[in-house]
Amino acid sequence: MNERAPPGVNEELYCVCLDAGTRPEETAIVKLINAMDKDRNVAGCCGEITVDKALAPKNVFYNWYVASQDFEYKVGNCLDKAFESVCGYISVLPGAFSAYRWSALSPPELGATSDKRPIVPYFKSVTHGGVINPFYGNMYLAEDRILALELVCSRTAANTLKYVKNSVAVTDVPDSCAALIKQRRRWMNGSFFAQIFALWQGLLLFRIFTTRHSWFRKLILMNELL
């Protein structure tokens, strides 16, 4: 039986992505939901992911691979994601720790079975039902980048993506050369082809200009993609 929530209670549905090995702080997920609750245009958001120092405190200072990743995460969060958040388009909401508004992933006006829903390309690598070419095979290694693009380029809303700096989660990271190379080979392959796809779809196919964003926002998004 479906009953409507009492007046003043938010009925919006949200989807939270969390990797095994990633541990959000006590109120981290609540802060992500609050960010979307305060602004209806925010279709998805992510927090700060940092190295789990409690798991191996000595590794952060004495293991070069762990220390370098700790620095990389700090730069990526404090500089890259903070700037992209101002523009309204974060190129990747990490699947390890992020949250989405369900009505943005699957807009009701498109119908529950429409292939034009932003969530459809996210699962395309496993639902295509045939042989996938090398370009798309590599691109869908970074399916979270594709989802970010689809949300911002949606024609049904002026979707933006946000970085919530005070929402923190810790994660375990590779502590050996072999493990790090294996992880980054997948990340770099996916991100390279996904960036080409974003440039092609967003600018060359003019998808940015068919959204409901203001023209000022469209110009900002165009410059960010370039």
DSSP string, 118-149: TTTGGGHHHHS-SPPPHHHHHHGGGHHHHHHH
User: Does the pLDDT of residue 64 top 60, yes or no?
Assistant: yes
CATH architecture of 14-225: Alpha-Beta Complex (3.90)
- The whole-number average pLDDT for the span 194-216 is 89
Q: Which residue spans within the chain are E strands per DSSP?
A: 14-18, 22-24, 42-51, 97-101, 160-171
Mind listing the pLDDT tens digit for each residue in 105-148?
Answer: 999 999 888 999 999 999 988 887 777 888 988 898 899 999 99
pLDDT the model gives residue 128: 77
Displacement of CA 125 from its chain's centroid (Å) = 17
What is the pTM assigned to this prediction? 0.89
Place of tokens 């994601």: 81
Sequence ranges of the domains in the chain? 14-225
Displacement of CA 221 from its chain's centroid (Å) = 16
- The whole-number average pLDDT for the span 166-189 is 92
What percent of the chain has pLDDT above 90? 61
Set 37, 39, 144, 175: catalytic member: 144
pLDDT the model gives residue 202: 83
Instruction: Yes or no: say if 44 and 32 are a contact pair by the CB < 8 Å rule.
Output: no
User: Is residue 115 annotated as part of the catalytic site, yes or no?
Assistant: no
Quickly count: other Cβ atoms within 10 Å of residue 19's Cβ. 14
In Å, how far are 106, 181, 190 from 122, measured between CA atoms? 12, 25, 13
User: Does the pLDDT of residue 213 top 60, yes or no?
Assistant: yes
Burial (CB count within 10 angstroms: exposed 0-12, middle 13-18, buried 19+), residue 9: exposed
pLDDT the model gives residue 161: 98
SS3 106: coil
User: Does the pLDDT of residue 3 top 50, yes or no?
Assistant: no
